[in-house]
């Protein structure tokens, strides 16, 4: 602080305690102070802004449980993958929780975000799909699931599901289909999609390897086995730099003949 006056202006109240902001940290870290005699401040008093974030004066219904999902479509298959780490703040809650959910045997939903919202969204979708199957005597086609998911998310436009979804499957012609969503139901069919904490590490890599951007060699159709290897490398990459991604990645390959699953271990740090 340049002067006692500016220091006095910078003092804020945090959780019933006076504190000064540390301007170098990202998350609004604070050093607690007491304007009085006993001013002993310890290193473990420092709030890094992660465990006690700035909105927590009230109650927040949302929490980010971490994780990354990725889906890639091919001419007759779709690959969808998600890591299996569940976190809360700086803590890992589980190293083995799935983010993938098969809605039909031709369609899989991968969701990262707030786990309770994801679970509830899945429940709602499962119910709608059962009712459809009862009425129509056949399972829902992937483009219809995509539309229904978009509408379901928009129903909660003013108290959204904190779920970042990626839908992968084969359409009625057997071609691979991937749909990307935002939290309030805006969606689009895309060649690939990544969402969650590691999306920024995956998307540029996919742009180069799958969409073949900024490359001089000829683009070719990739077989599903090669795409699975690319997905493994991609998650290793994301896991290196994203603290919320790691432990293992679950990879599903969807074709008109059904679903196969593989689990690939990642670094546990």
Size of the site for another protein (CB under 8 A): 11
**Shortest distance in whole angstroms from residue 186 CB to another protein:** 15
Is residue 184 involved in binding another protein (CB under 8 A)?
no
Out of 79, 112, 140, 210, the residue judged to bind another protein by CB under 8 A: 140
Nearer to another protein, 25 or 141 (CB): 141
**Shortest distance in whole angstroms from residue 122 CB to another protein:** 18
Residues 144-183 contacting another protein, CB under 8 A = 144, 146-148, 151
Alpha helix (H) residue ranges in 47-141: 115-136
Q: Are 186 and 165 spatial neighbours (Cβ–Cβ below 8 Å)?
A: no
Out of 32, 89, 143, 191, the residue judged to bind another protein by CB under 8 A: 143
Nearer to another protein, 25 or 147 (CB): 147
Nearer to another protein, 81 or 107 (CB): 107
**Shortest distance in whole angstroms from residue 255 CB to another protein:** 21
Distance CA 85, CA 83 (A): 6
Distance CA 108, CA 260 (A): 11
Nearer to another protein, 63 or 182 (CB): 182
CA nearest 190: which of 234, 221, 146, 157?
Answer: 146
CA nearest 245: which of 204, 200, 206, 181?
Answer: 200
What would the x/- binding string for another protein be over residues 96 to 135, using CB under 8 A?
------------------------------------x--x
**Shortest distance in whole angstroms from residue 192 CB to another protein:** 21
Distance CA 121, CA 5 (A): 52
Distance CA 163, CA 107 (A): 18
Q: Give how far Cα 220 sits from Cα of 75, 125, 212, 213, Å.
A: 11, 36, 9, 13
Q: Rounded to a whole number, what is the distance in angstroms from the first to the last CA of the chain?
A: 37
**Shortest distance in whole angstroms from residue 182 CB to another protein:** 18
Residue numbers of the site for another protein (CB under 8 A)? 132, 135-136, 140-141, 143-144, 146-148, 151
């Amino acid at each position: 602080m340049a002067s006692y006056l500016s220091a006095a202006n910078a003092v804020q109240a945090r959780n019933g305690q006076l504190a000064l902001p540390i301007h170098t940290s990202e998350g609004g870290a604070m050093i607690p102070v007491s304007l009085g005699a006993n001013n002993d401040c310890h290193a473990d008093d420092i709030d890094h802004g992660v465990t006690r974030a700035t909105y927590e004066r009230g109650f927040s219904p949302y929490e980010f449980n971490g994780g990354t999902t990725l889906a890639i479509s091919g001419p007759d298959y779709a690959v969808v993958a998600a890591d299996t780490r569940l976190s809360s703040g700086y803590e890992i809650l589980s190293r083995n929780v799935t983010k993938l959910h098969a809605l039909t045997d031709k369609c899989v939903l991968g969701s990262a975000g707030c786990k309770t919202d994801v679970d509830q969204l899945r429940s709602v979708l499962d119910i709608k799909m059962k009712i459809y199957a009862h009425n129509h005597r056949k399972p829902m086609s992937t483009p219809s699931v995509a539309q229904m998911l978009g509408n379901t998310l928009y129903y909660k436009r003013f108290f959204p599901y904190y779920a970042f979804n990626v839908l992968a499957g084969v359409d009625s012609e057997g071609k691979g289909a991937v749909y990307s969503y935002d939290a309030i139901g805006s969606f689009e069919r895309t060649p690939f999609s990544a969402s969650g904490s590691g999306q920024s590490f995956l998307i540029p890599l996919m742009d180069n390897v799958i969409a073949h951007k900024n490359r001089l060699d000829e683009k070719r159709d990739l077989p599903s086995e090669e795409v699975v290897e690319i997905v493994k490398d991609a998650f290793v990459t994301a896991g290196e730099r994203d603290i919320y991604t790691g432990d293992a990645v679950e990879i599903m390959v969807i074709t008109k003949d059904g679903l196969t699953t593989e689990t690939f271990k990642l670094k546990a740090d």
